[in-house]
Amino acid sequence: MTLVNCLTACCPESGKIPLTFPNDREAISAALRTLRPYHLEDLKLVRIKNTLELTHLIISTGCIDYLKGETASIIGEDDMELEFDSAGDLISRLNNP
Q: What angle do CA 51, 57, 61 make, to 5 degrees?
A: 130
Please give the sequence-ordered ranges of beta strands (E in DSSP) within the chain, or none if there are none: 46-48, 57-59, 83-84, 90-91
Check: pTM over 0.75? Answer yes or no. Answer: no
Instruction: Give every residue of the chain whose pLDDT is below 50, as ranges.
Output: 97
Quick one: pLDDT at residue 27?
94
Q: What is the pLDDT of residues 5-22, one digit of tens each?
A: 878 777 777 777 778 899
CA dihedral 33, 85, 60, 26 (to 10 degrees): 10
Quick one: pLDDT at residue 25?
96
State how far the Cα of 30 lies from the Cα of 37, in Å rounded to an integer: 15
State how far the Cα of 88 lies from the Cα of 42, in Å rounded to an integer: 26
